[in-house]
């Protein structure tokens, strides 16, 4: 193991975006590329590391600024290797400026084994200053102030995969289609690097820049605050439901749709049963309910299916913002980050997104029940869920009632997934999805 690999591995283990939490990274440096010539003693580089610790190797993008002296932000310091002080690029101005410049000028940089290339959509992004945001789980976001006084959000993808990233392709299509439900995409950076497990090359998106919605409020925080203070959320939930349906209409307009055929239904059913098997193995309560859950899945598989299209793929209250000027805005179209990109971009039923948001309202009440003293927001969540569905139906028509069996299955599938997640990571929260499974089985459409 080289000095650089050992240093990055030790640092990566402490980062929230490192996805294999229970083990130490086992890194291999696949390639490096210098994004711009050295200036003021600082080199801006992007490294691609393969991590062999998980069962399937993952590739991480690690941008760094290498300085000859220790004059960077101490909080961003990774350590010293090769006689240089290495800083986390996402927290260092030279990297952010180089990234934006590459997008603005559609620039390109290459090495023997890797390349990066900028793409522009709309006006150029010229960065004056930047600050890294905290709290993200799988990527790194940066707020950058531009020369014209505007703000953009730059997202750097940490786990990179071969193929188009739906966060870029979906947002690009919506932006070009004039969407008012999403921040506009300003540009992105793509790259290529050696495959982790073979002699070939992989390529995909590395980062994007989109308009920053000044003053917008996080949907999860808004909902939790309202429930905590017993404030009615029905009007906002209705608007969120209508906005979700509007988003789906726009997605169907700008990206391909297809009828659901037997193979599509079988693929969805296989995924549900895989998640059910995992949960049943790890949580005895799910094993006891397995027959009832399986029956809901089978009924949905035998029921009519709507037209399939591009959806959000990971929709919940944390993926929406509320702007006083633009209403509800939808962000983060990457889907579930560790699923293969090819799966995330497949056309799907819009009700999968609806089910995700319904589960999110349930989690608001569940999180408040964990407080000390506990807060009972059960009635609040029931009203918010109903209002959300009413709002969705006000735009989408009768899709919720026409495909009620499918919505039941999607919501139950999401709750089963949550059972596995909570049992592994937050056992104290396990009662939230377990109660949802019981409720959904008792109230399912027959």
What φ, ψ does residue 99 adopt, rounded to 5°? Answer: -65, -45
Q: Are 380 and 289 in contact (CB under 8 A)?
A: no
- Work out the pLDDT band at 445, boundaries 50, 70, 90: very low
Q: Give the span between the Cα atoms of 33 and 108, in whole angstroms.
A: 10
**Using the 8-state DSSP alphabet, how is residue 257 labeled?**
E
**Using the 8-state DSSP alphabet, how is residue 73 labeled?**
-
Mean of pLDDT over the chain: 93
The strand pairing partners of 131, in sequence order, are: 143
pLDDT tens string 326-379: 999 999 999 876 677 888 889 999 999 999 999 999 999 999 999 999 999 999
Q: Give the span between the Cα atoms of 422 and 418, in whole angstroms.
A: 6
Task: Specify the higher pLDDT residue, 104 or 338.
Answer: 104
State yes or no: pLDDT of 220 exceeds 50: yes
Domain parsing of the chain, residue ranges: 3-211, 217-442
Write down the CATH number for the domain with range 217-442.
3.90.1200.10
pLDDT value, residue 351: 98
pLDDT value, residue 446: 44
SS3 101: helix
Distances (CA, A) of 253 to 181, 271, 319, 327: 14, 27, 22, 21
Q: Give the span between the Cα atoms of 374 and 230, in whole angstroms.
A: 13
If you count DSSP H runs as helices and E runs as strands, how many of each does the chain have, helices first? 13, 18
Angle between helices 219-228 and 234-254 (to 10 degrees): 160
Q: Give the span between the Cα atoms of 225 and 229, in whole angstroms.
A: 6
- Work out the pLDDT band at 88, boundaries 50, 70, 90: very high
State yes or no: pLDDT of 198 exceeds 90: no
Q: Are 190 and 204 in contact (CB under 8 A)?
A: yes
Q: How many residues does the chain have?
A: 446
Average pLDDT over residues 179-202: 94
SS3 285: helix
Sequence-ordered strand ranges (E) for 133-237:
139-146, 151-157, 159-160, 185-194, 201-211, 217-218
pLDDT value, residue 372: 93
pLDDT value, residue 39: 66
pTM: 0.92
Q: Are 375 and 369 in contact (CB under 8 A)?
A: yes
Q: What percent of the chain is predicted at pLDDT more than 90?
A: 84
Average pLDDT over residues 399-421: 96
Go through 409-445 and write b for each residue having 16 or more CB atoms within 10 A of its CB, e for each that does not. Answer: bbbbbbbbbbbbebbeeeeebbebbbbbbeebbeebe
pLDDT value, residue 443: 79
**Distance of alpha carbon 98 from its chain centroid, rounded?**
24
pLDDT value, residue 208: 97
Q: Which of 137-141, 169-173, 338-342, 396-400 has the lowest mean pLDDT?
A: 338-342
**Distance of alpha carbon 252 from its chain centroid, rounded?**
20
State yes or no: pLDDT of 33 exceeds 70: yes
State yes or no: pLDDT of 444 exceeds 60: yes
pLDDT value, residue 319: 96
Q: To which residue do tokens 């609040």 refer?
A: 380
Residue 374: closest CA among 317, 431, 441: 431
């Amino acid at each position: 193991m080289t000095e650089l690999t050992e240093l990055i591995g030790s640092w990566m283990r402490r980062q929230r975006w490192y996805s294999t939490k229970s083990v130490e990274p086992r890194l291999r440096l696949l390639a490096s590329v210098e994004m711009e010539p050295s200036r003021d003693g600082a080199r801006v580089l992007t490294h691609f590391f393969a991590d062999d610790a998980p069962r399937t190797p993952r590739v991480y993008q690690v941008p760094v600024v290498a300085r000859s002296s220790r004059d960077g932000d101490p909080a961003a310091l990774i350590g010293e290797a090769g006689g240089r002080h290495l800083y986390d690029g996402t927290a260092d101005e030279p990297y952010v400026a180089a990234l934006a410049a590459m997008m603005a000028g559609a620039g390109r940089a290459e090495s023997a084994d890797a390349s990066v290339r900028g793409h522009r959509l709309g006006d150029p992004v010229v960065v004056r200053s930047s600050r890294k945001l905290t709290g993200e789980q799988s990527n790194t976001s940066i707020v950058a102030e531009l020369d014209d006084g505007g703000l953009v959000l730059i997202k750097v993808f940490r786990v990179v995969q071969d193929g188009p990233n739906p966060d870029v392709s979906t947002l690009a299509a919506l932006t070009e289609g004039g969407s008012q439900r999403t921040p506009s995409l300003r540009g992105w950076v793509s790259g290529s690097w050696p495959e982790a497990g073979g002699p070939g090359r992989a390529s995909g998106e590395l980062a994007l820049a989109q308009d920053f919605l000044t003053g917008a409020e996080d949907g999860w925080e808004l909902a939790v605050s309202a429930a905590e203070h017993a404030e009615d959320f029905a009007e906002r939930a209705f608007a969120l439901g209508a906005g979700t349906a509007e988003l789906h209409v726009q997605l169907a307009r700008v990206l391909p749709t297809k009828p659901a055929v037997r193979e599509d239904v079988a693929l969805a059913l296989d995924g549900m049963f895989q998640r059910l098997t995992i949960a049943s193995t790890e949580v005895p309560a799910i094993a006891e309910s397995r027959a009832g859950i399986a029956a809901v899945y089978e009924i949905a598989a035998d029921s009519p299916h709507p037209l399939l299209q591009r959806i959000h793929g990971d929709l919940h209250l944390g993926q929406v913002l509320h702007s006083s000027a633009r209403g509800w805005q939808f962000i983060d179209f990457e889907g579930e980050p560790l699923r293969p990109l090819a799966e995330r971009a497949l056309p799907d039923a819009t009700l999968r997104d609806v089910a995700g948001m319904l589960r999110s309202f349930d989690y608001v009440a569940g999180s408040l029940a964990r407080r000390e003293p506990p807060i009972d927001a059960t009635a609040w969540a029931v009203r918010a869920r109903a209002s959300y569905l009413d709002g969705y139906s006000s735009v989408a028509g009768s899709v919720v009632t026409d495909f009620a069996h499918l919505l039941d299955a999607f919501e139950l599938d999401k709750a089963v997934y949550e059972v596995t997640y909570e049992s592994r990571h937050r056992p104290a929260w396990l009662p939230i999805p377990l109660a949802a499974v019981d409720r959904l089985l008792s109230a399912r459409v027959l």
